Amino acid sequence: MPAVEASPVPAVGLPIPALRRRAAGPPSIVVGITHPQTCLVLTGRLRMLREAGFRVTLVCSPGELLERTAASEGVDVIAIPIRRKIAPLADLVSLVRLCKLLRRLKPDVVEFSTPKAGLLGTLAAMLCGVPRRVYLLRGLKLETSIGLKRRILWAAERVAAACAHEVLCNSESLRSEASALGVAPARKLHLLGKGSSNGVDIDRFSPGPSRVRQQLGLPPEALVVGFTGRLTRDKGLPELVEAFDAILRAEPRARLLLVGWFDASEDSLDASLRSRIVSHPQIHMTGFVENVPDYYRAMDLMVLPTWREGFPNSVLEAASTGIPVITTDSTGSRDSVVPEVTGLLIPPGYPQAIAESVLKLLRDPERCRRMGRAARAWVLDYYANTRVLGLTVDYYRSLLQSSPQSRPIQTA
């Protein structure tokens, strides 16, 4: 695959132009998320903003991962409980606390993401008159909702976007879908580079040996199909487990490696499916793990049969590690694969499509290797975290220098 020249990455640590600084010190940015779990996709982002001259404050519900992230990224942290589910009274309390916090901090910029923090955070920022308000759209939960819940989620997205000056979208297809659904006018929806909020650490996620197969007791001839992420319905776990039984009948050497955990979210798996996964002799479930790259290196290929995404980090990580990925043509996920080059795209919700695609690649090892090499090259061209986070720093620097309503946007 021919290399594509990346946009220049701003040097980290250069001073922010002084003309927009407040007398009290460096410009400040408040980054808000709902649940500490989202801290997993903030690694590097907060640190690079800090090193670029911002005072960074992370706001989130309390949790060990929040504290660890703040320490590793070197940023301030303030814990404000925010419910993921619809909870009117608790949400009102969270909104009041956010307003008090923003009035005290008087940030130059806010960036809120994830549905509930996006709604409450941008609303609080508007009520407090924060001069630059950004809503980072990481995905659209409403895509897999129906009835009244879908209408409530749509209204929440509309309010969050209306309260923000700009809406940063995680992928091109997410920007298109948000526009088509009327979440915000097209002029307000922006994309940095080719998408992704964080990119991938190409040195950490690189091809190489792994001891995971030996640790799990897998036979040398095992064909390992992997999945990484939350084990939920929206991620396509019911279809993946059903497909794996068909794969196993056709290819007894197959093993399913689930690198993730049973998430207690609204789309959590029912008890019978959880029991089936835990008791299945050829399914290996790890729970949360720290050294994820070793697990990618143990896979022959990865499958993400998701129903919705913003831009799946796990696909970038797998690609950077040099393995092909099978994912769906759902919003966000279809941007993460070059079809027939770095992996395969299939429709969501079809176990047969999963099984056929997996068997096609498992039976053609050379094609797997070729796709893995192309996937690694593609990530190096577009999604190295230095490039993606460099574009983010550049974006927020330019936001400081002009009115967000009038300034030109660099989106590529």
Residues 191-220: tens digit of each pLDDT: 999 999 999 999 999 999 999 999 999 999
76, pLDDT greater than 50: yes
Question: pLDDT tens digit string along 277-328?
Answer: 999 999 999 999 989 999 999 999 999 999 999 999 999 999 999 999 999 9
Question: pLDDT tens digit string along 212-269?
Answer: 999 999 999 999 999 999 999 999 999 999 999 999 999 999 999 999 999 888 889 9
CATH classification (class only), 18-199+384-400: alpha beta
Place of tokens 């929206």: 234
Could you give the angle at which helices 115-127 and 147-163 cross, rounded to 10 degrees?
Answer: 40
Strands (E), 289-402: 301-304, 325-328, 343-346
- The pair of structure tokens assigned to 49 is 């903003």
Please report the pLDDT score of residue 11 as a whole number: 37
Residue partners of 190: CB distance under 8 A and separation at least 6 = 166, 167, 168, 169, 175, 409, 411
CATH number of 212-382: 3.40.50.2000
181, pLDDT greater than 80: yes
Question: pLDDT tens digit string along 370-390?
Answer: 999 999 999 999 999 999 999
20, pLDDT greater than 50: no
Q: Which residue has the higher pLDDT, 11 or 89?
A: 89
80 falls in which pLDDT band (50, 70, 90)? Answer: very high
- The pTM of this model reads 0.88
- The pair of structure tokens assigned to 46 is 């907060």
Q: Which residue has the higher pLDDT, 149 or 5?
A: 149
High-pLDDT (> 70) share of the chain, %:
92
Place of tokens 């920022």: 125
Contacts for 323-327: CB closer than 8 Å, 24+ residues apart: 323/226, 323/296, 323/299, 323/368, 323/372, 323/375, 324/361, 324/368, 324/371, 324/372, 324/375, 325/301, 325/375, 326/301, 326/302, 326/354, 326/357, 326/358, 326/361, 327/303
Tell which residue, 249, 330, 342, has the closest CA to residue 301. Answer: 342
Please report the pLDDT score of residue 264 as a whole number: 82
Question: pLDDT tens digit string along 54-75?
Answer: 999 999 999 999 999 999 999 9
5, pLDDT greater than 70: no
What is the pLDDT averaged over residues 149-157? 95
What's the CA angle centered on 390, arms 32 and 182, to 5 degrees? Answer: 55
Helix (H, G, I), strand (E, B) or coil at 396: helix
408, pLDDT greater than 60: no
Q: Which of 18-22, 38-42, 122-126, 240-244 has the lowest mean pLDDT?
A: 18-22
Query: What is the C-alpha separation between 202 and 376, in angstroms, rounded?
Result: 9
Place of tokens 């925010």: 82
Q: Do domains 18-199+384-400 and 212-382 have the same CATH topology?
A: yes
Question: pLDDT tens digit string along 101-134?
Answer: 999 999 999 999 999 999 999 999 999 999 999 9
DSSP string of 57-99, one letter each residue: EEEE---HHHHHHHHHHT-EEEE----SS--HHHHHHHHHHHH
The pLDDT mean for the chain works out to 91
Domain edges within the chain: 18-199+384-400, 212-382
19, pLDDT greater than 50: no
High-pLDDT (> 90) share of the chain, %:
86
Query: What is the C-alpha separation between 166 and 257, in angstroms, rounded?
Result: 39
